[in-house]
Structure 1
Amino acid sequence: MCQGFSAPSPPHTVAPSFTLTLTLTLTLTLTLLLHLLTPVSAWRPWPQNNQMNVTDYAFGDSKKYEGSSEFVKLRYHMGPVLTTNITVHTIWYGNWERNQKKIIREFINSISASDAPHPSVAGWWKTVQLYTDQTGANISKTVRLGEEKNDRFYSHGKSLTRLSIQSVIKSAITAKTRPLPINPKSGLYLVLTADDVYVQEFCSSVCGFHYFTFPSLVGYTLPYAWVGNSAKFCPGQCAYPFAVPAYIPNHKPFKSPNGDVGVDGMISVIGHEMAEIASNPLANAWYAGQDPSFPVEIADLCEGIYGTGGGGAYTGQVLDARDGATYNMNGIRRKYLVQWVWSHVLSYCTGPNALDQ
């Protein structure tokens, strides 16, 4: 997740001296820039190469990834979670093929599909549902597709900054024709960029992130996530394990379950970000660590873990489809490979394909 804040308006008091005013202005501006530019959760699905993994930060010296660990200090910080039925409003930025949209839509619809075969996407979401707000209300089990907006003409260009993602959302909710509905309480805005769109820090440190919009920029505080299609830029980084980084020799990539490496790679990132938005939409709910500008969230704790025994470069025990594709859960009509999330009840990462279930 990426997190920051808008500088507050000054109180109605006697004006300070020019020097003090300038000092306060510079301090607020610098603080704002630091929050905007510092990635809070630079999630990457591939094994780390000489970089600190968030699991290193969260576990200390422990390497007991999906097993129980007393090193994880995940705490609730009294903020809201998404307890009302969640509606996902999607912005398709750039050119998308019809089948690519279907793969992603069906994944989102599968989150609430209780009739999907075991192990299911809905079974994976049950771990997310365990998280509650201060009233004891659980995260909603209902996740549905809302309105969609197509931005085929790249209205903000093919090179986006983190902040311009919010401008894309503003354009979608203020469009003259078929604007997206404004739903601050239970809406989740999902910006998906096509494979020819570059977003700040894409590939080098992030494959996706989530945040909330600034009222000063968008007009509302709306939880949102961005996920990019890495097929052209960096499939070895953001579509792992369906593509493999160059620094891992003699490692054969898995066959993607839906025949599209870029989109199948996006699915796990989308799941990661949705789980974290639901449990920490405003950066003040569920996370590990002392600094809300650098939280380790429920999906960060399980980077690269897709099955029992997972950790490091090993995905864990996953499943093979009849056509040789690799997956770990079933949707309504498709199969998907989605990383696990942390259970604060069990105190380890888990998923519907866990061998101890």
Structure 2
Amino acid sequence: MASCPKILVLVIFASLLGFSLAARQLTETTQPMTFQYHKGPLLNGKIQINLIWYGQFKPAQRAIISDFVTSLSSSRSEAQPSVATWWNSIGNYHRLANPKTKTTPLSLSFGKQVVLEAYPLGKSLTNKHLVELASKGAQQANAINIVLTASDVAVDGFCRSRCGTHSSAYISKNSQKFTYIWVGNSETQCPGQCAWPFHQPIYGPQSPPLVAPNNDVGLDGMIINLASLLAGTVTNPFGNGYYQGPKEAPLEAASACPGVYGKGAYPGYAGNLLMNPTTGASYNANGINKRQYLLPALYNPATLSCSTLV
């Protein structure tokens, strides 16, 4: 366990991850905020994760993401620390939200993949486009549809104020909602903002970039942002779950611990991490197919601290 420092919302850190479509502005503050449960529903039960690929992704790049999603609920005996162990800590939120009620355990499954390589909506997307793309996944209350945009696709607010976002939209057949996530590949547009610590930061303390565990700065950066947004989606799916700060720009389960990946982290330093002796890559979680990933610390509402895997 690593104690959580005062919230330092730096341009290079996870404040880029917003819940609402009006994502958190990139400002700097040292004012600590109280993490609260706002009495809204959390996602639980059996959740299907669907991937919508927009633009050109190599098969090897798609495998990095799909293996990560599968690793979240893997029952295989991966080396520790594992992606599944990281994800299982989300259960702290469910137990704290319903201490007297036995909720249905959260269970993830890999759903379908939609590949849109021909850029049917162009290469400059609005928030409305993101909802349209997210709707191509399963429109059901127990689904999370993840839109992944290629490195040559511009999205409103991308790099300027966010690396991705999560929100919800109404299912066309009824009044229920489904949740969705968007994450962009920042490799050519803003790796210093959205792929840190695998790229030199644009602002803030300067330190040498780490070697990306899957040898792809853009995709390994996407994993960090996707992991953060998945944690936020489950614990604050509709804007009234767990978060701190204003509802319009909340800090959530992962973004409440910006820039923290291992013990001893501080602004500009990701923390004490594991290193692959062959590649020199830094990581803190093992996945299926011998994958290694770098995942953000999660805020533990029971201990009021940021919890790291290493």
TM-score, structure 1 as length reference: 0.75
Q: CA deviation at 1:138?
A: 5.5
CA distance in 1, matches of 2:101, 2:149: 36
Matching of residue 221 in structure 1 with residue 177 in structure 2: yes
Match of 2:74 among 113, 135, 155: 113
Report the structure, 1 or 2, having the larger helix content: 1
2:301 corresponds to which residue? Answer: 344
Q: CA deviation at 1:161?
A: 1.4
Q: CA deviation at 1:84?
A: 0.8
Identical positions, percent = 35
Q: CA deviation at 1:163?
A: 2.5
CA distance in 1, matches of 2:244, 2:205: 34
| More displaced 10-residue stretch of structure 1: 188-197 or 295-304 | 295-304
CA distance in 2, matches of 1:137, 1:92: 36
1:266 corresponds to which residue? Answer: 222
CA offsets per residue over residues 188-210 of structure 1, 9 Å max, x none? 01000011101111112211110
CA offsets per residue over residues 62-85 of structure 1, 9 Å max, x none? xxxxxxxxxx52121121111112
CA offsets per residue over residues 170-218 of structure 1, 9 Å max, x none? 3x2xxxxxxx33221x200100001110111111221111011145899
CA distance in 2, matches of 1:218, 1:248: 47
Match of 1:157 among 118, 122, 138: 122
Report the structure, 1 or 2, having the larger strand content: 2
CA distance in 2, matches of 1:154, 1:278: 29
Q: Where do 5+ consecutive residues of structure 2 fail to align?
A: 1-17
Amino acid in structure 2 at the alignment position of 1:127: S
1:181 corresponds to which residue? Answer: 138
Instruction: Check the 8 A contact 2:43/2:106 in 1, yes or no.
Output: no
1:200 corresponds to which residue? Answer: 156
Matches within 5 A, 1:58-207: 59=32, 72-114=33-75, 115-132=77-94, 133-134=97-98, 136-137=101-102, 140-170=105-135, 172=136, 180-184=137-141, 186-207=142-163
CA offsets per residue over residues 298-340 of structure 1, 9 Å max, x none? 1121111001121311111111111201101111220001111
Please give the secondary structure, in 2, of the residue aligned with 1:300.
coil
CA distance in 2, matches of 1:317, 1:139: 35
CA distance in 2, matches of 1:112, 1:297: 21
**Number of residue pairs matched by the alignment:** 287
Task: Flag as ranges the 4+ runs of structure 1 deviating above 6 A.
Answer: 216-219
CA distance in 1, matches of 2:263, 2:205: 24
Point out the structure with max Rg over C-alpha: 1
Q: CA deviation at 1:352?
A: 2.1
1:302 corresponds to which residue? Answer: 257
Distance 1:215 1:297, change over 3 A: same
Please give the secondary structure, in 2, of the residue aligned with 1:298.
coil
Query: Cα RMSD between the aligned structures?
Result: 2.2
Q: Where do 5+ consecutive residues of structure 1 fail to align?
A: 4-35, 43-47, 60-71, 173-179
Instruction: Check the 8 A contact 1:93/1:191 in 2, yes or no.
Output: yes
Please give the secondary structure, in 2, of the residue aligned with 1:205.
coil
Instruction: Check the 8 A contact 2:260/2:266 in 1, yes or no.
Output: yes
| More displaced 10-residue stretch of structure 1: 75-84 or 214-223 | 214-223
